[in-house]
Structure 1
Amino acid sequence: MNEINQLVGEHPCFHKAAAHWFGRLHLPVAPDCNIKCHYCTRLYDCANENRPGVTSRLMSPKEALQHVRRSLAKEPRIRVIGIAGPGDPLANRATLVTLRLVHAHFPDLIKCLSTNGLLLPENLPALKSAGVRAVTVTVNAVSPAVGARIYGHVFYRGRVYRGAAGAELLWRAQYAGIRLAAAMGLAVKVNSVLIPGVNDGHLLQVARSVRAAGAHLMNVIPLIPRGAFAALQPPPPGQVARIRQKLAPVIAQMTHCRRCRADAAGMLLEGGTDAAF
Structure 2
Amino acid sequence: MRTLEQKTKEHPCFNAGAAHEAARIHLPVAPKCNIKCNFCNRKYDCQNESRPGVTSNVLTPVEALERYKKAKDTVPNLKVVGIAGPGDPLANITETMETIRLIGEYDPDTTFCLSTNGLKLRKFADQLIGLGVSHFTVTINGVRPETAAHIYRYATFEGVKHFGLEGAKLLLDKQWEALNHLKGKDVMTKVNTVLIKGVNDHEVEEIATWARTAGADMNNIMPLIPVEGTPFEDIGEISRQELVRVRLKCNEIMPQMMHCTQCRADAVGTLGQRCAGVAAI
The TM tier, using the shorter chain, reads over 0.9
**2:11 corresponding residue in structure 1:** 11
Structure 2 counterpart of 1:269, which letter? G
**1:76 corresponding residue in structure 2:** 76
Write the mapping of 1:213-252 to structure 2, written as runs, cut at 5 A. Answer: 213-226=214-227, 227-252=230-255
Alpha-carbon shift at residue 16 of structure 1 (Å)? 0.7
**2:119 corresponding residue in structure 1:** 118
**SS of equivalent to 2:231:** helix
Mapped contact 2:269–2:275 kept (Cα < 8 A): no
Mapped contact 1:83–1:113 kept (Cα < 8 A): yes
Alpha-carbon shift at residue 44 of structure 1 (Å)? 5.8
Alpha-carbon shift at residue 3 of structure 1 (Å)? 4.2
**CA RMSD between the two structures:** 1.3
Q: When the two structures are superposed, what TM-score results if normalisation uses the length of structure 1?
A: 0.96
Paired with 2:172 and 2:277, the residues of 1 have a C-alpha distance of 31
**1:31 corresponding residue in structure 2:** 31
Paired with 2:269 and 2:3, the residues of 1 have a C-alpha distance of 24
Mapped contact 1:115–1:138 kept (Cα < 8 A): yes
Paired with 1:214 and 1:134, the residues of 2 have a C-alpha distance of 13
Structure 1: gaps (5+ residues) = none
Alpha-carbon shift at residue 6 of structure 1 (Å)? 2.5
Paired with 1:67 and 1:118, the residues of 2 have a C-alpha distance of 28
Alpha-carbon shift at residue 49 of structure 1 (Å)? 1.8
Among the aligned pairs, what percent are the same residue? Answer: 43
Alpha-carbon shift at residue 201 of structure 1 (Å)? 0.5
Mapped contact 1:48–1:275 kept (Cα < 8 A): no
Alpha-carbon shift at residue 8 of structure 1 (Å)? 1.9
Mapped contact 2:27–2:81 kept (Cα < 8 A): yes
Structure 2: gaps (5+ residues) = none
Paired with 1:119 and 1:205, the residues of 2 have a C-alpha distance of 23
**1:98 corresponding residue in structure 2:** 99
Paired with 2:243 and 2:5, the residues of 1 have a C-alpha distance of 27
Alpha-carbon shift at residue 163 of structure 1 (Å)? 1.1
Write the mapping of 1:37-186 to structure 2, written as runs, cut at 5 A. Answer: 37-43=37-43, 45-92=45-92, 93-186=94-187
Structure 2 counterpart of 1:79, which letter? K
1:264 pairs, out of 248, 263, 267, with 267
Size of the aligned set, in residue pairs, is: 275
Paired with 2:237 and 2:200, the residues of 1 have a C-alpha distance of 13
**1:201 corresponding residue in structure 2:** 202
Mapped contact 1:81–1:112 kept (Cα < 8 A): yes
1:275 aligns with 2:277: yes
**1:187 corresponding residue in structure 2:** 188
Alpha-carbon shift at residue 183 of structure 1 (Å)? 2.1
Paired with 1:112 and 1:176, the residues of 2 have a C-alpha distance of 19
Paired with 1:261 and 1:182, the residues of 2 have a C-alpha distance of 28
Q: When the two structures are superposed, what TM-score results if normalisation uses the length of structure 2?
A: 0.95
